[in-house]
Structure formats: C-alpha cells, structure tokens
Amino acid sequence: YLFHPGCDECGKYFVQAGDLKTHQLIHSGVKPYSCYLCGKSFTQAGNLKTHQLIHSGVKPYSCELCGKSFTLAQNLKKHQLIHSGVKPYSCDLCGTSFTRAEHLKTHQLIHSGVKPYSCELCGKSFVLAQYLKRHQLIHSGVKPHSCDLCGKSFTRAGDLKKHQVIHIGFKAYNCDLCGKSFTQAEGLKKHQVIHIGFKAYNCDLCGKSFTQAQSLKKHQLIHSGVKPYSCELCGKSFTQAQSLKKHQLIHSGVKPYSCDLCGKSFTRAGDLKKHQLIHSGVKPYSCDLCGKSFTLAGHLKTHQLIHIGFKAYNCDLCGKSFTLAVHLKTHQLIHIGFKAYSCELCGKSFTQAGHLKTHQLIHSGVKAYSCDLCGNGVKAYSCDLCGKSFTLSEGLKRHQVIHSGVKPYSCDLCGKSFTQAGHLKTHQVIHSGVKPYSCKLCGKSFAQNSDLQKHLVTHSGIKAYSCDFCGKRFSDKQYRNIHLRIHTGIDVSCCDQCGKLFATDAQLQRHMFSHSEERPYKCDLCEKTFKSPHQLNKHQQIHTRK
C-alpha cells in the first residue's frame, strides 16, 4: 500500500488522504455533525447515523445464546466474545485479559496513573472523558432512569438494569466454595476474594487491611473525621451517603421486614436475617478463650476485645475507656445531660431508648412475665442453687457467678476481689477518698449517691422493713436481710473470743477491736486514741461540729 503522510499530532498513517483529513478532526475538537434529538455531536456523518439508530429503538442483531439485542452487527460480534471466553488482549504489567483491544487500552491507563479529566465541582479525576461525564450526573442530581417496580431512580441505564435483576430474584453466579449466589459476576468476584484471604489494601494509619481499594477509601474517611452527609431531622452526620439513607429509615418509622416467628419488625432486610439467627439457635462463632458462642462473626470480634483489654475510645471528660465507639457515644450523653427519650405519661427522660421502654412498663402495668392463673408478675429465670428469681436471663447469669466463687476483678490497692467489673469500680471510689454526695441535714458525706439516699431514710424515721423473728425494724431492706442471718444461722460470722454471732465479716472485725487493749488510732486534733477506725471517725465528727 502507498501511505500518505502521517498525522502530525499522533503519527498515525492512512492509505487515503481523505481518511487522514477525517482523522485530524479528532485532534481539532471540531464536531460538525449533531443529533437533533439529543444534541450529541460527532466528527463524521457516518458516526451520527450509527448513533441515531439508538433513538429508533431498532435492534435487529440478537445473540443466540442470551437473547441480547444490538443496533449494529459489529456490536453483536464484540458481545459474542464474552460467551466464547476468549480474551486475546493481555496486559503486560498485571496479566489481566480482555475480549477487546480498546478495553485493554483503557485498563493500561490505570497503570500509568494519568487521569487527565477532572471534575470542576469536587476535583475527582478520571482516566476517560466518558467516566467524567458519568460522574457529573451525580452532582446534577438528575436520575432519568426509573424502576417500574419500586420507583427507585438511577443516573445510568446500566445501573437500572443491574437493579432490576434484584426484583427477578435470579442469581446466576454461584460461589463454588460456599454456595452463595449473586445477581452479577462482579459481585461474585468481590466475594471470592474473601475465601482467598488476601487483603492487598492496607490503611497507613491503623494497619487494617481490605480486599478492595474502594473499601479502604471508605475506611480512611473514619480517620479524616469528615462526615459530609448530615441528617436534616436530627443533625447526625455520616461519612457515606449510604449510611445516611439507612439512618433516615429510622425517622420514617417504616419497618417493612417482619419476623414470622415473633412479629418483630425491621427497617432493613439484612437486620431481619441477623435477627432470625436468634430463633435458629445456631451460634457458629465461638471464642477460643472462654468458649462463648455468637450468631454473628462481628459479635465475636467485639467480644474478643474484652479479653485483649484494648479500649481505644476514651472519654475526654472523665477518662473512662470503651472497646467500642458506640459505647463511648452513649456514655458521653451522661456528661451532656441530654436525654432524648421522654416518657409521655410522667415526663421522665432517658439517654437511651431501651431505658425508656423498661420504664414505660411501670405505667402500662404490664409485667414481662405473668402468671396465667392469678395475673401476678413472675420472674421466669430461677437459680437452681438458691431459688432466687430474675426477670431477665442476664440477671440470672450475673447472679450465678456468686455461686461459682469466681471473682476475676481484683483491687490493686487492697486485693479485694469482685464478681463484676462494676462492683470493683464502685469499691475503688473508697480508696480515692472522694465523697461528693453530702447530707444537708447532718453533713455526712458519701462516695455514691445511692448510699446518700439510703442514709436520708434514717432522718425520716421510717423503718419499713421488719424482722419476722424478733420484730426489729430497719430503714433499709439490705440491713434487714443481713440481720436475718443471725436468726437463720446462714452465712453468719462467729467471734472466737466470746461466741457472739455477726451477720457480716465487717461487723465481726469491728467487734474484734473490743477484745484488744491496743488503741492504735490517734486523733490529729486532740491526740485522743481509739481501738478502731470506726470509733476515731465518730470522735472526729465532734471537732467538725465546733
């Protein structure tokens, strides 16, 4: 062939001079042929004619294997390569293969890192101009493609087609390893990476790994602290638009997904599926350290943080640490004093919805567990060892730790052990010496508000709790129960010196000072000495009153 001089811009050669001229229009940017229906412009008249076939809706070329139709024969040929499985165009850098040469060229731009097309609104860059145009539809807010079945709208026709497969319910792509099905091939590919276990994308800040680059980008927004998507109703912000949409369902109150077994409703199908695992009783995820089982892998991961002892989320106001961010947020409401959940009947407010629901049972008169014969409230969970009953299974579990004798929480200062972490924290306040709760009547101070409330009853003179054996009355139920031990002989402490019985070890220890002649406790103000710290404290109140 006799080639004419090449293109000055790109060096491409042509057999005919006319072809060279037509080609050079691409570089000039001139597109003289416009579509009167949509306004799209082309460099050649032939390209315009081909384009106009789209508007006609005529697709005479159909694929015999899948039935898909095309306006041009060449598009059908390109499509048929997908079914053949032949991918003759391979990338020299990563080995990825493609059915068409233009797809390979587009792919190679990824390796070059060049993204010449930038969005003027958000600065995001793209490899191809068509990708930029597609992206700009997001900013315009125009979603011309709507689903006839549910009304959901999309910016692209391709996204609508993908969505419509959900309604059909057909999932043609199955995972050979676990059997999970997907509506799209790309969904299957993303899923299969999980089985490989390879996570190529790592976060530089926390080291967390991801199977997909997109997942890493979403994760990095957490570290940036940027939450561009805000709820207009409550002001809560989110890093992703998807998270905002899920949140907004809460305000709508719509819960279309109901459990057939218990009737509980959910805003999302995924939440219903998770809930249904509870009824199945299947807990496939077990903790290697303590054997506790969970229905979800996420719950196991959260639980394992307890064993690690890692609490990454700290309260700036009081220094308290938490394993989860959601627990920190709930805690911070205490400092703010914000109580969003109010009772319509009495006006009492709560920081959490769960606390409000529990409170509302008081007004309703409903007892979570009622006797069918008399209607009185019953406690469904009973301890096999002592018969004590509880309304919730959690209460029974906490109680049973007492019988086991296991006290895993120890005080670093005095060595005293406790069955629950909360009890240890309450105890540690004693060592701090801080007593912020004072009685306005006598000036006595307490480390906890509950102790102050018990003390205030003593000033009222009301002693509502009486001993069935001797008639002695008490202002506090706990003191009455301790006193009963003397009559029953259960859990009592006996003095080796005189044989006197005491309801608690603390009472016995206080009594033992009476048998000793030593007076080691000295008053700093008057140098008077005492046998016990209790006597010294009582004496020092005389000085404070002066």
Model confidence over 401-423: pLDDT tens digits?
A: 777 777 778 888 877 888 787 78
- The predicted pLDDT at position 452 comes to 84
> Collapsing DSSP states into helix, strand and coil, what is residue 522?
strand
Please give the distance of CA 316 from its chain centroid, rounded to a whole number.
Answer: 21
Give the span between the Cα atoms of 51 and 61, in whole angstroms: 15
pLDDT of 130 reads 80
Average pLDDT on 111-132 reads: 82
What is the average pLDDT across 124-141? 81
503 C-beta neighbours (distance < 10 Å), count: 19
- Give the model's confidence band at 391: pLDDT under 50 very low, under 70 low, under 90 confident, else very high: low
Give me the DSSP letters along 216-269.
Answer: HHHHHHHHHT---EE-TTT--EESSHHHHHHHHHHHH----EE-TTT--EESSH
Task: Point out which residues pair with 377 in neighbouring strands.
Answer: 370
**Residue 68: what pLDDT?**
84
Residue 3 pLDDT more than 60? Answer: no
Task: Determine which of 196-205, 233-242, 533-542 has the lowest per-residue pLDDT on average.
Answer: 196-205
pLDDT score of 392: 64
d(CA 245, CA 226): 17
Measured distance CA(29)–CA(51) in Å, rounded: 18
Q: What does the mean pLDDT of the chain come to?
A: 79
Per-residue pLDDT band at 43 (split at 50, 70, 90): confident
Q: Considering only residues 380 and 405, tell me which one the structure prediction assigns the higher pLDDT.
A: 405
**Encoded tokens for 149:** 């079945």
pLDDT band of 197, cuts 50, 70, 90 = low
> What mean pLDDT comes out for the span 111-127?
83
| Mean pLDDT, rounded, for 375-401 | 70
> What tokens appear for 488 in the block?
């029953």
- From the list 368, 425, 417, 428, the residue with the least C-alpha distance to 394 is 368
What are phi and psi for residue 505, nearest 5 degrees? -65, -35
For the residues 485-504, what does the mean pLDDT come to? 76
At 287, list the tokens.
């903790």
Confidence of residue 89 (pLDDT cuts 50, 70, 90): confident
Output DSSP code: residue 4: P
Tokens of 152: 């959901």
Q: Are strands 285-286 and 293-294 parallel, antiparallel or unpaired?
A: antiparallel
- Please give the residue that has the higher pLDDT: either 40 or 382: 40
pLDDT above 60 for 378? no
Phi, psi of 235 (to 5 degrees): 85, 0
In angstroms, rounded to a whole number, what is the distance separating the alpha carbons of residues 17 and 5? 8
Query: Smallest Cα–Cα separation from 188: which of 210, 169, 173, 177?
Result: 173
**Range with top average pLDDT, 200-204, 216-220, 222-226, 524-528:** 524-528
For residue 367, pLDDT beyond 60: no
Say how far apart CA 140 and CA 153 lie, in whole Å. Answer: 14
The terminus-to-terminus CA distance of the chain in angstroms comes to 120
Average pLDDT (146-173) is 77
At residue 522, φ and ψ (nearest 5 deg) are -110, 140
The helix (H) or strand (E) run that includes residue 118 is: strand 117-118
Q: Is 334 helix (H, G, I), strand (E, B) or coil?
A: helix
In DSSP terms, 181 is beta-bridged to: 174
Rounded to an integer, the average pLDDT of 457-468 is 81
Q: What is the mean pLDDT of residues 306-318?
A: 76
The residue type of 295 is: T
pTM of the model: 0.30
Q: Which helix (H) or strand (E) holds 502?
A: strand 501-502
Here the tokens at position 314 are 């700290």
What average pLDDT does the segment 363-390 reach?
Answer: 62
More confident residue, 196 or 438: 438
Compute the average pLDDT of residues 504-529: 83
Average pLDDT over residues 12-29: 80
Q: Provide, rounded to the nearest whole percent, the portion of the chain with pLDDT above 90.
A: 0
Of 152-166, 386-400, 438-452, least confident by mean pLDDT is 386-400
* Among candidate residues 475, 510, 471, 506, the one with its CA nearest the CA of residue 487: 471
